[in-house]
A and B are shown apart, each in its own frame.
Chain A
Amino acid sequence: MTAMMIREVLAACIFAAAVLFGTAGVIGLFRFPDPYSRLQASALCGTTAVLTTCVGALLLAPSWAVASRVIVIIIFFLFSAPTGSHIVARFAWNAGTPVWRPDRLRTLKGRRKAP
Chain B
Amino acid sequence: MSGMLFTSMQWFMVFCAVVCTVRLVLGPTAADRLVALNVMSGIVLAFLVLRGVQQGRHIYLDVALVYDIFGFLGFLAIARFLKDRLEHEEES
Contact = CB atoms under 8 A, between A and B. Distances in A.
Interface of A: 8, 11-12, 15, 18-19, 22, 25-26, 29-30, 35, 38-39, 42, 45-47, 49-50, 53-54, 56-58, 60-63, 65-66, 69-70, 72-73, 76-77, 80-81, 83-85, 87-88, 91-92, 94-95, 97, 107-109
Interface of B: 1-2, 5-6, 8-9, 12-13, 16, 19-20, 23, 27-32, 34-36, 38-43, 45-46, 49-50, 52-53, 56, 58, 61-62, 64-65, 68-69, 71-72, 75-76, 79, 82-83, 86
Q: Interface on chain A toward B: helix, strand, loop, or mixed SS?
A: helix
Contacts of A53: 9, 13, 46, 49-50
A8 B1 contact: yes
A46 B43 contact: yes
Contact of A72 (B65, B71, B75): B65
